[in-house]
Amino acid sequence: MRFGIMSFAHLHAEGFVGNLRAIPGLELVGFSDDDTRRGEHVAQTFGVRWFAHHEELLEAGVDGVIVCSENARRRELVALAAAAKVHVLCEKPIEVTLADAEAMRDACETHGVRFMTAFPMRFEPSIRAVKGALERGELGSLHAAAGINHSEIPKAHRAWFADKALAGGGAVMDHTVHLTDLLRWYTGSEVSEVYAEVGNPFYPGEVDVDTAGLVTLTFADGFFASIDCSWSRPTSYPRWGHLKMELFGERGAVRVDGFAQSLTAYSRHLPRNPSWLAWGADPNQAMIEEFVASIEEAREPAVTWRDGYEALRVALACYASADAGQPVTLDR
Amino acid sequence: MRVGIVGAGSMGRVHAAGWKAAGAELIGVTSQFGETARELARVHDARAFDDLDTLLAEVDVVDLCVPSDLHHAMTLRAAQAGTHVICEKPIALSLADGEAMIEACERHGVRLFIAHVVRFFPQYRLAAQAAQAGQLGELGVMRLRRVSYPPRQGAASWFADEARSGGVVLDLMVHDFDYACWLGGRVERVFAKSVKMAHPDAPGDYVQATLRFEGGAMALVEGGWAYPPGTFRTGFDLAGREGLIEWDSDASESIQRSLLPGEPGTAAAVGLPLSVLAEDPYTTQIKHVHAAIASGEPFAVSPRDALEALRVGLATRASLRSGRSVAPAEVS
């Protein structure tokens, strides 16, 4: 199977190179990027063939691509890939408006290609173990959750994350989608109401997007959950951030930390001192393997366009709620 | 300083020890359950009193460790008798009652201290000092959590009777409302969600309140009686523009026991979130009160502070009822 990466705008693309190369029988054909400097840099650093135009990568013959562009440029790339009959694994949030997201679905349906949303935490072993525990009824019926997806401001790595036009928003756009997806997956229920406090307390004057958000989701079955999506970790933090949550049910509570499996390392040779070095499985590996398997087996991937769309819908509802100062209802 | 204690439950016992440590003269104890008063009096070589007025006639300070619905009436009686009043939190269950308590104490020239003991917990105090010294810069997002287990005796306990205790919101979360207001100032609006206990002995009462401060900061306050007996977790995360403080009770347990199971039901009837300390924070608090009364210096927590914490709690309850965000300024 032949694979490509469309755009290296998203930092995750760097890790995906190693993930793709680790899959036996998979050939990483190259990547496309219309940014010449980045293209040359990535080609040199990772030894991957660079295509200056996305069409050239697709013409080189690939079965699947991972779309790692800026949020607001995914529709364009997904449409190109779909038209070339290439299956798509798409970074999150899948786009910045619902209309763009719907157009992506339409393009994939028209050309008969698969679309998977890149929600790697679904493949993290501890997160999966909790899913299993919930399915076995260990917590009884589920009442509430408190979720945290903190990070440092990502603009140090990629400036566009804090650019409203390219990212569609800030911390809320970046970080509500992961936990929203996990909570939808855990509950099997859809979000019916969103309340959000949104602001820019951390980098006022430096960026024009939100850097903090406290979100409350209420699900159709009455379950509620908060998500703290703030870029509230300082750049001196031992890691980029974390994703964790506590779930409350009729039989007690379960806390899960998707990044707990790490060493604390103190070294002046590390970029962060101290550093939390992950030793657990890389969930991106299992995510990409699932995408590859879905192509080989000609079936829907475990995480679909719908999952990406519903999460985007919640993120956008957060901004609507913050504007109104009141909860907003999501119609079904 | 002659001190009398009203109520010989878990807090009455803790306060009695605090007064002894402060060097006050513990005159007597009264309780609606006569036997518990006699027992506590015996421990401290004090007298058991059959009624409040007899006790008031013999003391300079009365310490009200009684169910919250009794705070108002007893404070008024004590003020009338010319006795200084220490009263457990929340100050009262309504703003009108709280106002009347403050007014009565002012009119009769006695001091009123509401026992917001969290401000005397050393980790909370240290974090507040750091924040107030500007080490975190302007605060952006605060997270405060206080999740315990249902007070024993289930429905028979006054804690479980919302009309008497104010429930999780006014009994437990009021601690963190006070702390949040101490650091964040006035609250502009509150949005909250809760889940009710399925039955009295099951974990389940759990509340999340999102606070937005007039200054722009936000806070998530989490409270509950949602764990099985014996588990009481507290924690905070204070994120500012220039710094961050994290603290979690699990992470700073200085002693971890791995013993064969002992007596069943070893969890206290009402959980207290205590670390192993040279001096327990309840004693620190009582010593502060003792010294402030003796010197005439102001208390570290004013009755107006306590009233503000109550106001946020009442706004939380109003939001739970209406499903909307509520401005504490509009709560009556």
Residue A262 pLDDT exceeds 60: yes
Sheet holding B47-49, edge to edge: B47-49, B25-30, B2-6, B61-64, B84-88, B112-115
Q: What CA–CA distance (Å, rounded) separates A293 from B31?
A: 71
Reported as a single tens digit per residue, the pLDDT across B139-176 is: 999 999 999 988 776 556 788 888 899 999 999 999 99
Q: Whole-number mean pLDDT of chain A? A: 96
Distance CA B285, CA B289 (A): 6
Q: Which residue has the higher pLDDT, A292 or B276?
A: A292
User: Cα B82–B87–B92 angle (5° rounding)?
Assistant: 105
- Regarding whether B127 and B91 lie in a shared domain, the answer is no
Q: Is residue B74 part of a domain?
A: yes
CA trace torsion B283, B88, B109, B177 (10° rounding): 100
Q: Give CA–CA dist A155/A76, Å, rounded.
A: 23
User: Average pLDDT for residues A1-10, to the nearest whole number?
Assistant: 97
Is residue B261 included in any domain, yes or no?
yes
Mean pLDDT is lowest, of B28-37, B109-118, B305-314, for B28-37
In this structure, the answer to whether residues B313 and B168 fall within a common structural domain is yes
Q: What CATH number did the domain enclosing B16 receive? A: 3.40.50.720
Query: Which of these ranges, A140-154, A156-170, B13-27, B290-304, has the smallest mean pLDDT?
Result: A156-170
Q: Are B206 and B147 in contact (CB under 8 A)?
A: yes
**Measured between beta carbons, which residues in chain B are less than 8 angstroms from residue A170?**
none
Domain boundary among B115, B139, B170: B115
Q: Are residues B184 and B231 in the same domain?
A: yes
CATH number 3.90.226.10 given to A2-113: no
Domains held by chain B: number: 2
Quick check: A207 pLDDT over 70?
Answer: yes
Residue A46 at interface with chain B, using a CB cutoff of 8 Å? no
Q: Percent of chain A scored above 70 by pLDDT?
A: 100
Percent of chain B exceeding pLDDT 90 equals: 80
Cβ within 8 Å of B, A 92-151: 143-144, 146, 148, 150
Encoding tokens for residue A13? 């693309």
Interface-testing mutation among A214, A221, A224, A242, with chain B (most B C-beta atoms within 10 A): A214
Which CATH number characterizes residue B246's domain? 3.30.360.10
Residue B267's pLDDT band (boundaries 50, 70, 90)? low
| B295 within some domain | no
Q: What is the pLDDT of residue B253?
A: 75
Residue whose C-alpha is closest to residue A216's, from B189, B185, B274, B79:
B189
> Is the pLDDT confidence value at B281 over 90?
yes
Q: Do A146 and B324 touch (CB under 8 A)?
A: no
Q: Are residues B146 and B109 in the same domain?
A: no
User: Any chain B CB within 8 A of the CB of A199?
Assistant: yes
Q: What is the DSSP letter of B201?
A: T
Residues B172, B199, single domain; the answer is yes
- Comparing alpha-carbon positions, the chain B residue that sits nearest to A230 is B141
Q: Which amino acid is at B87?
A: C
Check B222 against A212: CB less than 8 A apart: no
Question: In a mutagenesis test of the B interface, which of A153, A197, A233, A272 is the best target, namely the one with the most B β-carbons within 10 Å?
Answer: A197
Determine the Cα–Cα distance for residues B142 and B244; give it in Å rounded to an integer: 10
Residue A157 has pLDDT above 80, yes or no: no
Residue B151 DSSP label = P
- HEC readout, A71-113: HHHHHHHHHHHHHCCCEEEECCCCCCCHHHHHHHHHHHHHHCC
Neighboring chain A residues of B143 at a CB cutoff of 8 Å: 148, 228
Q: Where are the domains of chain A?
A: 2-113, 122-281+305-329
Distances (CA, A) of A129 to A116, A143, A282, A288, A297: 22, 19, 15, 19, 25
Q: Which of residues 240-259 of A touch B (CB under 8 A)?
A: 248, 250-253
Size of interface A-B (CB pairs under 8 A): 105
Please report whether residue B87 resides in a domain: yes
In a shared domain, residues B252 and B173: yes
pLDDT tens digits, B40-76? 999 999 999 999 999 999 999 999 999 999 999 999 9
- Note the pLDDT tens digit of each residue in A40-93: 999 999 999 999 999 999 999 999 999 999 999 999 999 999 999 999 999 999
For A85-142, write each residue's pLDDT tens digit. 999 999 999 999 999 999 999 999 999 999 999 999 999 999 999 999 999 999 999 9
What is the topology classification, in CATH, of domain A122-281+305-329?
Dihydrodipicolinate Reductase; domain 2 (3.30.360)
